[in-house]
Amino acid sequence: MELFNQTSIVNTLDNHRPDALSHYPIIHQQPIHWGEMDAFNHLNNVVYYRYAESARIGYLQALGMFDGNMVTVLAQSSCQYLRPVTYPDTLLLGVRCQRLGTTSIAIEYSYYSTAQAAIVATADAVIVRLDSNGQDKMPWTDEERERLLALEATFGHIPKV
């Protein structure tokens, strides 16, 4: 099964991933842009959420769950900033499922700075799946659940179900 269709995602077979991200099936590569810095000369806090959104979409695309036939709504998100990030740098965002619910997924992120060779932030989010009209919750299919759990297991991670 082809899991990747974007150049911003590091192939799961790539042996160059940092050890800190070894149990994350999807790695989203994100260069820092000068215009994303704030007045204190570090990455603005809002930008972390944009990066998480891009990584989350990549995760769902890799699983074939972001095909236009459903709507996902962000129900909750948080970010814990551990170290300041400055330009120039490239972040690697590890993405994995913490918990797979009937109609939701709790996602976990680790932001790894290639310049600092360290995790600089962690985050989590809960998305809820809705039907294509955006009105009613829609359960994940058995096939979708199996694909997600198989991908996670490949990297030694077992989400709560």
* Full DSSP string of 132-156: TTSSSB-PPPHHHHHHHHHHHHHTT
Task: Identify residue 89 by its one-letter amino acid code.
Answer: D
Does some domain include residue 159?
Answer: no
Environment class of 13 (CB within 10 Å of its CB; exposed 0-12, middle 13-18, buried 19+): exposed
Instruction: Provide the whole-model pTM.
Output: 0.89
Q: Is 2 inside any structural domain?
A: no
In whole angstroms, what is the distance from residue 124 CA to residue 76 CA? Answer: 8
**Confidence band of 68 (pLDDT split at 50, 70, 90):** low
Answer whether residue 1 is part of any domain: no
Range of the domain at 120: 21-145
79, part of any domain: yes
* Contact status, residue 82 vs residue 69, Cβ threshold 8 Å: no
Residue 134 lies in a domain: yes
Residue pLDDT, tens place only, 93-145: 999 999 999 999 999 999 999 999 999 999 999 999 998 888 899 999 999 99
- Helical (H) or strand (E) element with 56: helix 45-62
CATH code of the domain containing 30: 3.10.129.10
Q: How many domains does the chain have?
A: 1
